[in-house]
């Protein structure tokens, strides 16, 4: 890696002040696992990294609110989320996703805020947390704003964050009986980047799917909510015919890209199959115990 | 633009139980830092955090040395595989690796040994599935995986 400057502010406000909205060579760094890969590959050469390790410890906290929402501080490591008792008890799809997210060393270092802000469509947390209805709190020089996570992504490695804005918290609402699942397809090792990710959540009322949220990642340029597919599932019983229609709808709706993980045709077929499997996995949620 | 100082900075940390100090530039990673202390057990192999050959512990947590800025260990405690040289006494994990023949060339072994210690600290009785998940980011090009899984189970029983 080529030399650069690293500054270590001791507060969030100070960190925001050290970023420059006009200068893409100045970036915040949380765990650095993704950023270092970009730097080693030569696609990113910073002049300055603003290290967030020394900001206030409250931004690393994971806490349950009185209304049952889980507030995950952006500087919490992925391991801390993985081993959090409330996550295990209340958000089984998130727990399961974390167990297969990269490997334990990366999870020990990578932070939630970085995983959300990086904008890499192959990452696991954005689709899972989008399907779970999460929102992010963002702080910049002008103050704070809150955004549904599904509105954070604007393109391939692109978000709506200004260069001097930082995510401080991801808030995940209570499932309230909703079923949820995330499935990904990796072609080589278990911890490989996925060719496809599908995240779903929905209510089941009198045998019918209600208020589904369907999210596709990895095969698309950004994490994408599948609203037409959701309409196919709304009010329908999750039988084989419905799931086949949902698979067809998702394939018609998603803009699937070819890359090293497979051709677009191959990934469309994966989506057709994994749309069905993800819904079935969510239905099996209650029956399955999440392994630690 | 504030003054750009790419210069090395002084860091103080604990290395295998001993307080040490050195100066290092911000763009160096933890493997490069360890090499300055003549510690070569952590090897940068894939350079992408995938293979586990550079596994070291920072404040008791396993990290990939190749994906960890050296300056970040300032004030922290670093443990490498050399910590387990044990003055001639093998750890239960090392003993189990030998008894099970859990290596051929040995290049990946320091990383596997470090990760095995870490797994057993978190989970004293891991299932085969737990072990395989935990080692998803450790590659053995000799493919001694069945023996490695057996060694971890044997070490768990010996703990």
CATH of A179-283, one of 2.60.40.10, 3.40.1390.40, 3.90.870.30, 3.30.390.50: 3.30.390.50
Give the CATH number of domain A5-51; options: 3.30.43.10, 3.40.630.10, 1.20.58.1610, 3.40.640.10.
Answer: 3.30.43.10
* Sequence-separated contacts (24+) of A235-239 with Cβ below 8 Å: A235/A208, A235/A209, A235/A210, A236/A208, A236/A209, A237/A207, A237/A208, A237/A209, A238/A204, A238/A209, A238/A279, A238/A280, A238/A283
Domains within chain B, CATH numbers bracketed = 9-81 (3.10.20.30), 90-158 (1.10.150.120)
Q: What are the pLDDT digits (tens) for A233-261?
A: 999 999 999 999 999 999 999 999 999 99
3-state secondary structure A106-128: HHHHCEHHHHHHCCCCCCCHHHH
Domain ranges of chain A: 5-51, 57-172, 179-283
What is the CATH T-level fold of the domain A57-172, as seen in this structure? 3.30.465
The pTM of the full predicted model, rounded to 2 decimals, is 0.95
CB contact under 8 A, B52 and A103: yes
Bridge-based pairing of strands A179-185 and A196-205 is antiparallel
The beta-carbon neighbor of A190 closest among B5, B29, B136 is B136
| A33 chain-B contacts, CB cut-off 8 A | 49, 64, 67
Tell me the per-residue pLDDT of B45-101, one tens digit each, with 9 for 90 and over. 999 999 999 999 999 999 999 999 999 999 999 999 999 987 789 999 999 999 999
CB nearest to B137's CB, from A4, A53, A106:
A106
Residue pair A51/A95 in contact (Cβ under 8 Å)? The answer is: no
> What are the chain A neighbours of B6 within 8 Å (beta carbons)?
3-5
Question: Is A36 within 8 Å of chain B by CB?
Answer: yes
Residues A29-34: what's their mean pLDDT?
A: 97
Measured between alpha carbons, how far is A216 from A234 in angstroms, rounded to an integer?
17
* Residues on chain A touching B129 (C-beta within 8 angstroms): 291
A191 and B137 within 8 Å at the Cβ level: the answer is: yes
A164 and chain B in contact, CB less than 8 A: no
């Amino acid at each position: 890696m080529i030399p650069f400057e690293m500054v270590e502010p001791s507060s969030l406000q100070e960190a925001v002040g050290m970023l420059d909205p006009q200068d893409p060579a100045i970036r915040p760094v949380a765990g650095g696992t993704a950023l270092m890969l970009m730097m080693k590959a030569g696609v990113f050469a910073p002049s300055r990294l603003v290290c967030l390790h020394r900001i206030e410890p409250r931004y690393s906290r994971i806490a349950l609110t009185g209304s049952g929402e889980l507030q995950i501080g952006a500087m919490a490591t992925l391991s801390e989320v993985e081993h959090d008792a409330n996550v295990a008890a209340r958000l089984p799809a998130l727990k399961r996703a974390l167990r297969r997210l990269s490997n334990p060393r990366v999870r020990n270092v990578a932070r939630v805020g970085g995983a959300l802000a990086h904008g890499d469509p192959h990452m696991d947390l954005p689709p899972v947390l989008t399907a779970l209805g999460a929102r992010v709190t963002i702080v910049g020089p002008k103050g704070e704003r809150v955004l549904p996570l599904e509105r954070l992504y604007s393109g391939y490695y692109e978000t709506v964050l200004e260069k001097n804005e930082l995510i401080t918290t991801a808030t995940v609402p209570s499932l309230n009986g909703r079923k949820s699942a995330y499935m990904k397809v990796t072609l080589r090792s278990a911890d490989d980047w996925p060719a496809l990710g599908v995240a779903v959540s929905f209510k089941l009322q009198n045998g019918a799917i209600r208020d589904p949220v369907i999210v596709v990642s990895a095969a698309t340029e950004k994490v994408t909510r599948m609203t037409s597919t959701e309409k196919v599932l709304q009010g329908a019983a999750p039988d084989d015919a419905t799931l086949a229609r949902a698979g067809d709808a998702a394939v018609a709706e998603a803009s699937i890209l070819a890359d090293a993980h497979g051709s677009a045709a191959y990934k469309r077929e994966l989506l057709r199959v994994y749309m069905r499997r993800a819904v079935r996995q969510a239905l099996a949620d209650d029956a399955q115990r999440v392994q630690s | 633009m504030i003054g750009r100082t790419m210069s090395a900075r002084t860091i103080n940390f604990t290395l295998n139980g001993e307080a040490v100090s050195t100066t290092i530039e911000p763009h160096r990673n933890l493997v490069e830092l360890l090499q300055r202390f003549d510690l070569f057990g952590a090897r940068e192999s894939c350079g992408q955090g995938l293979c586990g050959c550079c596994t070291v512990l920072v404040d008791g947590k396993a990290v990939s040395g190749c994906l960890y800025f050296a300056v970040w260990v300032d004030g922290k405690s670093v443990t490498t595989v050399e910590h387990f040289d044990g003055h001639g006494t093998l750890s239960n994990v090392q003993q189990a690796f030998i008894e099970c023949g859990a290596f051929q060339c040995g290049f990946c072994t320091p990383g596997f040994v470090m990760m095995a210690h870490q797994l057993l600290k978190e989970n004293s009785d891991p299932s085969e599935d737990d072990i395989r998940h935990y080692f998803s980011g450790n590659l053995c090009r000799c493919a001694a995986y069945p023996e490695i899984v057996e060694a971890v189970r044997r070490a768990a029983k010996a703990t």
